[in-house]
Structure 1
């Protein structure tokens, strides 16, 4: 019996079935019984298919014979060696560059400004884009290579310059993105050797500030908290699950590589890339970076992986006055504390290596020995060049000492825009120094002529070039791109907008919220607390505040109409202020700051006026550890978020979810603390005076976070199940004695599940004297449960599990994950006083046994009969619901593919 994920490729039984499936686009997969080797799916637009011994291969070089690199049966290293032996030097050097890629129409580029430096972006007229302006810090700042690559330029890059790595910079729908990546692959397939392209992206799944409703992410991908928010959950399993979901979305569109995530430990609170990290702790960063790599890549890199490039070695979180090395005034990575490099900054990269990260990216920065305390044995000093040029750092430390086996990917623009420490070298010499230092691919350049010239001049040996090319091709072969680079645009769109994925993402949003202060139990805003109340809502930020305020109010009205809103502060009884600070521009003549004022977009006087008027819930979006004292002290409750949707935030504020997030960094006490901090040391290891303390003397240090002192529900049990198999979840209660003093005598709760994924079987009491009075199905996937504790001796007064909820996973699951939740949970004590609890949910990884349609745990002719009985039915058939189970490949019809799919696994 074979246990595989739902989206495993179809395997065919015979050449007869194969001939029925064959098309100019895709030759389906099957198993060669003689060889015992699985035929991978072969997709092609240009080159022909070779059929040898009943197996299919792509004739990538069009010579009509099967070359070793075209033979998927061979080990990857054999295929790589054969292909490299066939490549010309221009093909090799072209492979060693990556360039930005834009889906839109051709755009012209301005001529370089006076003193401007070209950054490697090819426009239609082959001019260079200058880098004298940068994006506003806070989003994807420092966008050094704006999206100006047109379709014809992409074709030119592939066919004339042998480029194969493209960084996607814009954000189209999943369907449009897939159509475009398919076009790129078609051009690549048509070249001499048919080497496929690798499409790359920076993170695409994270909320920047506040997302008002799921529609904000509709048509793109599932929307999750920012990286700091994921760190605030302190949940590595959830982080891995995020990676699995996001990888499925990316892979479906043809994006197979991510320039992510930042393993940088953020020790300088002024750094405007702080929000792309997992905070200040090496331990937490290591845990999260390990989990996300395993999520995106899987346990082993393979055809369904998205390969990750972990950045920015050896860590960009230590800065000189916060300034970033994208700018000349921010070049150095200072290490003023002895041993800080290895103690704080390198461990998260060790975790990335242990997780199997496919590549590592050095930062732009360089060492400045005048700013460093001893970091190396025997008082050694560093060569003062950019990290991508530093052979000791890359070869001696990263490869030899840490054992990294993947490839080294430079950051964008090291040759022309940020050649720190090697400004006196020519472009040709810079290429030579970077490659000889250990870099395998240069990001942000489009013309391999200088790299080629470095080899021609004898500055780089072709043997060294071959080493890099082999590392790169090993990834490409392992990802399965040589066999199957094309993706289905409609399937990509379905996967990108899968509501189950967003349900799990919403759970991450809730878990990311950090409750910092809650005077007089201001929160949660229960129905009782909101009776006869009016809530004033205002967003305070640098630009667009009025529009964002209107959007937030609209989201509240739609999602939670029980809340009565008012636009008149004079008649309000409570207020919700959402503060969204933003960083200041990184310039050489103005200090960076994390103080909240006009420069960072916060009207402190306005917030204080609201807090003076009515009890105020202050929510602060934390992209940095802002100095929050001026706006926080007068608030009745303070909440920290890190990029969040409005609806999950409301769930926490309303008590439908108890806050569980913890600060992933230390909030500084004041400006003096910032001025005196050690830029290479986490806040938790600073002097005790560094941390901010509120009026209740709570220290807002790393790991701080409150919760509500109220009863809460728990839902625990299986987090992975095979299709057709039974499983249980346990419902329980916590903090009962603190919240329901008389004991619980009656309970009302609604069980929610996806009936296409899960079948509810029964609810059974786990406690003597607790009875399930009714199990009423109110709608598909909704069961209302009424419980009663019979007699005073049976009242629920202590914590523990109360019910066993019994389910069976459906055989023909529709998603890789299912979510089971309990909502509308109401407890009542012996006097009839009701207490409403927060919702609770559990996400479950769904596996299934291929071909087991009747759910008996094995594949027999009974399963084949199910398909045979439904043969010829399509999604337009009036009785489709009855036969849909037989559509095992989910293409909307029951045909020979489905028969073969089941038949191959019959014992």
Structure 2
């Protein structure tokens, strides 16, 4: 284990000798202002160190908290090579083991960083990982972390205090294992019912998204960034929701964002207070605007990360943002995963080579390339005079400032022995479970079947374990034997190909197969039926509602939480409209919040607490 570099000066000041010269240089002096330290370090860095700072890629953990010597399932390069040789020091981590292993891995990576000329500490980032969704392109299920409803469920509660409790759980557990950057919150509006990424939004209402997004942001960053903060990346600027036909911009067929309803300002609205609150980073989406005009001029039809009118003109000049702009993943190079080759998401600039795309991203005003580690391409641009070192310095200063504010230069290490005690504590687990239960939304209960009291009944269940259902009654194997049926369904979607990521994104039709209501009616012939639908997107629920006695919607609730909800804890309200039909969805403008005449409107919900 290498020397972590801690020293104590004659006046008792504890500092780290990051460049191993035995002298407390200004950038190592914790008593100096952050800006002074950053300026001193910037003047010392070699070109290779500056270039490395502009990349933010994926690395994976090895067995038992070790680092990988070679490429992983997704990561392109062995950890030592990318940290020490390529000088990269921003990493998005995917799968994590138990908390103590995650902490051990983090500390090992930080020790590798000490081998670089100025010991620039590593910043570990993550997509959301406190819910249920498992998608390597967007989120991870909780594992050892406390488990909460997805952000849509937080939106269903419309409770800023619960949102702040959620944010505090996320912040404290991230910090315990060394994660100091969150690639969230998602401030997009869920205005296109078919879009696959609504699960991680706070719904369709611009005001709700703004209020909850700001509460979450402030909870993670704790005001001005400091040693206990997690730096947030608000995404996807200027709003990633209005996808044409609801297809996602991860894929070539989903590259267009459209604004036929004239609601661009609604999508932009949640990002304004995020800028004012000092969000550490912004991430433009992959999508390219089609037919969008701002101030009477057409916005170029290229992906938002490449779009100077959006990044520099709107975000930097008009909104006054001077933080980090991090691109979404893999805008420069094609992505090789196994035997698949996925095209770079360079929508609108597919004709450019990797160097041309990178040059355009910098010209647009971006600071960091997400999902890339091709440091040689940027080095070539500088050598050819296409990108100046002065341009690099602008971005390097922003990136170093975040690290400095987080306190990483003074002490990036975490306590491995305490990680298990600080992650998934009984209090945070119970708070997450209570939020899961409360977020459940009662959509229909015409006969007053809910809440379910007592446990003397015979219960038939689908999608719910017998162990969890035991709190409702004696579990039986057939509807004919039951006094009640409880059935859990996933919201419908159209299965796609085995292309990497595609199968994890639920897209396409919102209609259930026609045989489902028929089967539900047959069960209802024997006993009352309660249906829960996991609403990762809206669903056309009319036929289901007509076939059963009660319908509830959930947004990331385990079996124990659903049982608690049905017994009286459900108080959620819909975070988006539910459509009457797919025809209504197809004729709806993707940028318009609300469907006009929905089956059930945003905000609908029957709180069971009032009935208990």
Q: TM-score, normalised by structure 1?
A: 0.62
* Structure 1 stretches of at least 4 aligned residues deviating more than 6 Å after TM superposition: 123-126, 587-591
Aligned twin of 1:701:
601
Taking the aligned partners of 1:709 and 1:660, their CA distance within structure 2 comes to 7
Taking the aligned partners of 1:442 and 1:280, their CA distance within structure 2 comes to 29
Q: Aligned ranges for residues 531-570 of structure 1 at < 5 Å?
A: 531=456, 533-539=457-463, 549=464, 552-557=465-470, 560=471, 563-570=473-480
Taking the aligned partners of 2:370 and 2:550, their CA distance within structure 1 comes to 46
Q: Report the 3-state secondary structure (helix = DSSP H, G, I; strand = E; otherwise coil) of the residue aligned with 1:564.
A: strand
CA separation of 1:647 and 1:591: change in aligned 2, threshold 3 A: closer
Taking the aligned partners of 1:635 and 1:197, their CA distance within structure 2 comes to 54
Give the CA deviation at 1:208. 3.3
Taking the aligned partners of 1:279 and 1:569, their CA distance within structure 2 comes to 36
Give the CA deviation at 1:608. 3.1
Aligned twin of 2:304:
387
Aligned length, in residue pairs = 588
* Counterpart among 316, 319, 325 of residue 408 in structure 1: 325
Structure 1 residues 286-295 or 397-406, which shifts more? Answer: 397-406
Give the CA deviation at 1:664. 0.3
CA separation of 1:460 and 1:608: change in aligned 2, threshold 3 A: farther
* Counterpart among 512, 520, 526 of residue 596 in structure 1: 512
Give the CA deviation at 1:567. 1.0
* Counterpart among 638, 662, 668 of residue 573 in structure 2: 662
Give the CA deviation at 1:490. 2.4
Give the CA deviation at 1:148. 3.7
Aligned twin of 1:526:
453
Give the CA deviation at 1:604. 4.1
Aligned twin of 1:59:
17
CA separation of 1:582 and 1:168: change in aligned 2, threshold 3 A: farther
**Once the two structures are superposed, what CA deviation does each residue of 1:169-213 show, in whole Å capped at 9, x if it has no partner?**
11311111110011000000122101000011101101239xxxx
Give the CA deviation at 1:665. 0.0
Aligned twin of 2:249:
325
CA RMSD of superposed structures (Å): 2.4
Q: Aligned ranges for residues 737-886 of structure 1 at < 5 Å?
A: none
**Once the two structures are superposed, what CA deviation does each residue of 1:141-170 show, in whole Å capped at 9, x if it has no partner?**
xxxx953456xx111111111000111011
Q: Report the 3-state secondary structure (helix = DSSP H, G, I; strand = E; otherwise coil) of the residue aligned with 2:603.
A: coil
**Once the two structures are superposed, what CA deviation does each residue of 1:196-252 show, in whole Å capped at 9, x if it has no partner?**
00011101101239xxxxxx95x6101000111011010112111211111111101
Taking the aligned partners of 1:48 and 1:301, their CA distance within structure 2 comes to 23
Taking the aligned partners of 1:591 and 1:97, their CA distance within structure 2 comes to 30
Give the CA deviation at 1:426. 2.0
* Counterpart among 366, 376, 384 of residue 439 in structure 1: 366
Q: Aligned ranges for residues 137-286 of structure 1 at < 5 Å?
A: 146-148=73-75, 153-208=78-133, 220-286=144-210
**Once the two structures are superposed, what CA deviation does each residue of 1:447-466 show, in whole Å capped at 9, x if it has no partner?**
21111211222222211110
* Counterpart among 347, 359, 362 of residue 281 in structure 2: 359
* Counterpart among 383, 392, 397 of residue 470 in structure 1: 397
Taking the aligned partners of 1:578 and 1:506, their CA distance within structure 2 comes to 18
Give the CA deviation at 1:97. 0.2
* Counterpart among 574, 582, 590 of residue 671 in structure 1: 582
Alignment of 1:307 with 2:231, yes or no, is yes
Taking the aligned partners of 1:604 and 1:358, their CA distance within structure 2 comes to 48
Are the equivalent residues in 2 in contact too, given 1:391–1:438 (CA < 8 A)?
Answer: yes
CA separation of 1:124 and 1:665: change in aligned 2, threshold 3 A: same
Alignment of 1:583 with 2:493, yes or no, is yes
Q: Report the 3-state secondary structure (helix = DSSP H, G, I; strand = E; otherwise coil) of the residue aligned with 1:633.
A: helix
Aligned twin of 2:294:
376
Q: Aligned ranges for residues 690-729 of structure 1 at < 5 Å?
A: 691-692=598-599, 700-708=600-608, 710=610
Alignment of 1:649 with 2:562, yes or no, is yes
Aligned twin of 2:426:
499
Taking the aligned partners of 2:227 and 2:269, their CA distance within structure 1 comes to 29
| Between structures 1 and 2, the one with greater strand share | 1
Give the CA deviation at 1:65. 1.1
Taking the aligned partners of 1:458 and 1:597, their CA distance within structure 2 comes to 59
Alignment of 1:571 with 2:481, yes or no, is yes
Q: 5+ unaligned residues in a row in structure 2: which ranges? A: 135-140, 334-343
CA separation of 1:459 and 1:582: change in aligned 2, threshold 3 A: farther
CA separation of 1:396 and 1:591: change in aligned 2, threshold 3 A: closer
Give the CA deviation at 1:384. 1.5
* Counterpart among 211, 215, 218 of residue 287 in structure 1: 211
Give the CA deviation at 1:582. 4.9
* Counterpart among 45, 52, 57 of residue 99 in structure 1: 57
Give the CA deviation at 1:356. 2.1
Alignment of 1:76 with 2:1, yes or no, is no
Aligned twin of 1:85:
43
Are the equivalent residues in 1 in contact too, given 2:520–2:548 (CA < 8 A)?
Answer: no
Q: Which structure is higher in RCO with an 8 Å CA cutoff and minimum separation 6?
A: 2
| Between structures 1 and 2, the one with greater helix share | 2
Give the CA deviation at 1:497. 2.4
Q: Report the 3-state secondary structure (helix = DSSP H, G, I; strand = E; otherwise coil) of the residue aligned with 2:257.
A: coil
Alignment of 1:484 with 2:402, yes or no, is no
Structure 1 residues 418-427 or 585-594, which shifts more? Answer: 585-594
Give the CA deviation at 1:48. 5.1
Are the equivalent residues in 1 in contact too, given 2:325–2:365 (CA < 8 A)?
Answer: yes
Taking the aligned partners of 2:273 and 2:229, their CA distance within structure 1 comes to 19
Taking the aligned partners of 2:80 and 2:490, their CA distance within structure 1 comes to 42
Give the CA deviation at 1:585. 4.0
Are the equivalent residues in 1 in contact too, given 2:440–2:562 (CA < 8 A)?
Answer: yes
**Once the two structures are superposed, what CA deviation does each residue of 1:402-425 show, in whole Å capped at 9, x if it has no partner?**
122211000010112111112222
Aligned twin of 2:546:
633
Q: TM-score, normalised by structure 2?
A: 0.92
**Once the two structures are superposed, what CA deviation does each residue of 1:414-439 show, in whole Å capped at 9, x if it has no partner?**
11211111222221121111012111
CA separation of 1:433 and 1:252: change in aligned 2, threshold 3 A: same
* Counterpart among 255, 264, 267 of residue 341 in structure 1: 264
Taking the aligned partners of 1:241 and 1:476, their CA distance within structure 2 comes to 25
Taking the aligned partners of 1:710 and 1:196, their CA distance within structure 2 comes to 52
Q: Report the 3-state secondary structure (helix = DSSP H, G, I; strand = E; otherwise coil) of the residue aligned with 2:256.
A: coil
Are the equivalent residues in 2 in contact too, given 1:50–1:66 (CA < 8 A)?
Answer: no
Aligned twin of 1:615:
528
Aligned twin of 2:138:
none
Aligned twin of 1:800:
none
Taking the aligned partners of 2:133 and 2:253, their CA distance within structure 1 comes to 27
Taking the aligned partners of 1:294 and 1:318, their CA distance within structure 2 comes to 26
Taking the aligned partners of 1:402 and 1:635, their CA distance within structure 2 comes to 50
Are the equivalent residues in 1 in contact too, given 2:482–2:527 (CA < 8 A)?
Answer: yes
